[in-house]
Structure 1
């Protein structure tokens, strides 16, 4: 897959008004229903997180959304409270290429956090981000500002759409591929996105939760 094949037309993407209208309705319904239905499971997860080390249940972090707009993302905390301060010491052990940090046996992750990450349950609070409109159910992973500072113009194309809780990369390859492959998958999704493709990705994500692959 070459870079030339994946150069997108921003005007065409922004003119998909009908698709975006129904996508937003779908996001509101799914996130609202999800927050209600999953309220008790989320409470149980919160109790396990607190019992693990008596720390905060939720973790908030600044991320970059559509067209570079920054927002605070919500997740169940899967790492120890001082995880951010330890990152600099671990950067040389990064197991993926490009402006993204991933480490399979990350010592900052709690015992409860390992399960949450493997099953992607740590991402459930992002339904609130979807309801607010910061994110969509399906879309590219929202990057950190530090990652975006290292983006090329080609990479920045993935910021042309609203980021998602799950996407083509998360539902297929996850951590089995590096940064450049992730960008290619995101741009492929943006190029071909539709309600049918979104539904397919959501189904694949559920299968990924049941049978985790490449999650850590």
Structure 2
């Protein structure tokens, strides 16, 4: 319950603090792709679906697959910048504010990532809200290795405390980790 309260407070403060940046990135994204926000159904807590919101980093006509299965040529120049700086993740603060996500938790996957869903299901990962960052992200473990990712997510859930919560956030903001690979 304490983590949910912190998620709510920090996401609200975060959204208010970065509102001018969100506005600027939205305008640039509008010029870049014509559609600055990307919405995609993801697997949430208890395997319930929710719509994840991010800044669009790929061309609008890119097939909706996991990032590691997407073609690198689909990423726009502005998209490369957003990914490198992790600014593409900022709109997910809205998902956190709504209670669909946490700041810290397993990255939400797609339903068609059947191996990942099965591994996470076996390890009880779906008992928590998915997050913007976590142990796997700061250790550069992505969805291309479903068994390792699910095991790392389970370890994070078992050991998550206030200290780790802040550590994962600080390390992410400081630039540790990279996000999903693109082929």
- Match for residue 68 of structure 1 among 47, 50, 70: 47
> Which residue of structure 1 aligns with residue 159 of structure 2?
192
Deviation, 1:195, is 1.3
* Residue 78 (structure 2) pairs with residue 78 (structure 1): no
Task: Give a deviation string over 1:88-112, Cα, whole Å, max 9, x none.
Answer: xxxxxxxxxxxx5515861111110
Alignment match of 2:10 (pick from 30, 39, 46):
30
Equivalent residue number for residue 32 of structure 2: 52
Q: Is residue 2:58 matched to residue 1:128? A: no
CA contact (8 A) 2:12 2:97 kept: yes
Q: Give the aligned CA root-mean-square deviation in angstroms.
A: 2.2
Match of 1:150 in 2: 115
Q: TM-score, normalised by structure 1?
A: 0.75
Aligned partner of residue 73 in structure 2, secondary structure:
coil
Kept in 2, the 8 Å contact 1:119–1:212? The answer is no
Name the CA distance, whole Å, in 1 between partners of 2:49 and 2:118. 18
Q: How far is 1:178 from its partner?
A: 2.5
Shift in Å, 1:173:
1.7
Encode CA deviations 1:9-37: one digit per residue, 9 max, x unaligned: xxxxxxxxxxxx11011001100001100
Classify the secondary structure of the residue corresponding to 1:143: coil
Aligned counterpart, 1:179? 146
* Counterpart contact for 1:62–1:144, Cα < 8 Å: yes
Q: Which runs of 5+ in 2 are unaligned?
A: none
Aligned length: 179
TM-score, scaled to structure 2: 0.88
Distance 2:40 2:144 in 1: 24
Query: Structure 1 residue aligned with 2:106, among 129, 140, 161?
Result: 140
